[in-house]
Amino acid sequence: MPSPAADRPTACLALADGTVFYGMGFGAEGQTVAELCFNTAMTGYQEIMTDPSYAGQIVTFTFPHIGNVGVNPEDDETADPVAAGMVVKWMPTDPSNWRAAEHLSTWLAARGRIALGGVDTRRLTRAIRRSGAPHVALSHDPTGTFDIEALVAAARGFDGLEGRDLARTVTCAQSYRWNEMRWAWPEGYAPQTDPKHRVVALDYGAKRNILRCLASAGCDVTVLPATATYDEVMAHDPGGVFLSNGPGDPAATGSYAVPMIQQVLRDTALPVFGICLGHQMLALALGARTIKMNHGHHGANHPVKDNDTGKVEITSMNHGFAVDAQSLPEGVIETHTSLFDGSNCGIRMEGRPVWSVQHHPEASPGPQDSYYLFERFAQAMAERAA
C-alpha cells in the first residue's frame, strides 16, 4: 500500500452541512456514518468507546490526551467498542501506564473502529453546541484519497437516532448470571459469594460496572434481553427489577419495554430502579414523554442536584434524549435536576420504591457521589422481604 505524503491527510470527517475536517487516521481503515457528539471527560476513553449507549454515534473527545494510558481488558464496559468511531485533537502517543496491555490505535484497528486525529476539536465542539449533533461520515484512507461529495451525501443519508430502537442491537442474546463486584485493591474484581437480593436486570445495553455495583450492593443478578416479557421476568422470582442504560430513541424501545414495565408496576410491589435509558423507560411507563436534546449530555463533570436533600453530585452522563419534566404526571416526583441546563435527571413514584436517574452513578466521577442509589435499591428490597 503506498505511503501518504507527510503533509497529506489520511482521514476526514464530513458533516451533512458540507463542512469537512481533515486530519490523520488511526485505528481501522474504511468509512462509517453516524451522529456526532462530544464528551468532556478527562479520563475513561476506553469505557466510553465500549459503552453500548454510544451505538450509532462517533465521539469527539474535548480532552486532548486520548490514548496516553493505552487500553486493557479490565476497563471494557462490554466485549468490544460500540461507538462507531472517535475524533481527537492529538494523535495517540505510546501508552505510559502499568495497566496498559495494548496501544489504542491497535485496539481500535483490531475491532473495526475508525479514528481521526489532528482535528481542532474546540471548533468542532462549538459547531455541535451551536447547531446540534450533526450527521457525519468518517473516512480513513492511508492514500489520502477522498470523494468529499460522496461523503457529504452519505452523512445526509444517515437516518439519525430519532425513531430508532438500538437497544435490540446491543442487548444480550440470552439470559445470564452476574456475580462480579466492583474493582478493589488488591483482589481486583472479586465475586459476590453471599448475595441477599435476587435482581432481574433488563439489558437495554448494560454497562458491566452497573452490574458490578448491583453485585457489590448484595444482589444476585440475572440479566435478561431487552425484549423480555413480564412472565419471563417473574419466572426468576425477583426481589427487584433493574432497568439498564442503552442507546437510541427511548420511545422506539418503549414500544415493547414499556408494557412489560407497566405490568410490573401494576401487578407487583417490587422495587424498580432505572439508569439512563432505563430512567427514560420508567418515565414513559408512568405516562411522561421523552424529547431529543440539541447536543445531549456526555461527560464526567456534570453537576446534578438532589432535590430532596439539596446535595449536589458530580456525575457522569451520556444521553441524547431526556425526560420532559413538564410531562410528569401526578404522583411522579422529579428528584434530580441538571445544574447545567435544568433538564430532568431523576424521578420517583410517590409512596412506592420505584425510581430512576438519568446520570450514571456507577461511573465514579465524584468519585462515589451517587453510589448510595445502589444501596437504596438494596435497602428497598430488604424492607420488602422483612
**Residue numbers annotated as active site:** 276, 360, 362
* Cβ–Cβ < 8 Å for 245, 210: yes
* Single-letter code of the amino acid located at 312: V
Q: Report d(CA 370, CA 345) in Å as an integer.
A: 12
353 upstream amide cis, omega within 30 of 0: no
Gyration radius of the chain's alpha carbons: 21
Q: Report d(CA 265, CA 57) in Å as an integer.
A: 33
* Cβ–Cβ < 8 Å for 9, 144: yes
**Residues 6 or more apart whose Cβ sits within 8 Å of residue 24:** 9, 10, 11, 91, 116, 117, 118
* Cβ–Cβ < 8 Å for 175, 225: yes
* Single-letter code of the amino acid located at 178: W
* Cβ–Cβ < 8 Å for 48, 54: yes
Number of helical (H) and strand (E) elements in the chain, helices listed first? 10, 19
- Work out the angle between the directed axes of helices 208-216 and 372-385 (0-180°, nearest 10): 50
* Cβ–Cβ < 8 Å for 91, 117: yes
* Cα 73 from chain centre: 18
Q: Beta strands of the chain (E only): which ranges?
A: 11-15, 20-27, 30-39, 57-61, 85-87, 114-117, 135-140, 176-178, 180-184, 188-191, 197-203, 219-225, 240-243, 272-275, 290-306, 312-323, 332-338, 344-349, 354-357
Residue 38 backbone phi and psi in degrees, to 5 = -125, 145
Q: Report d(CA 31, CA 139) in Å as an integer.
A: 4
Q: Report d(CA 276, CA 47) in Å as an integer.
A: 16
Q: Report d(CA 142, CA 30) in Å as an integer.
A: 10
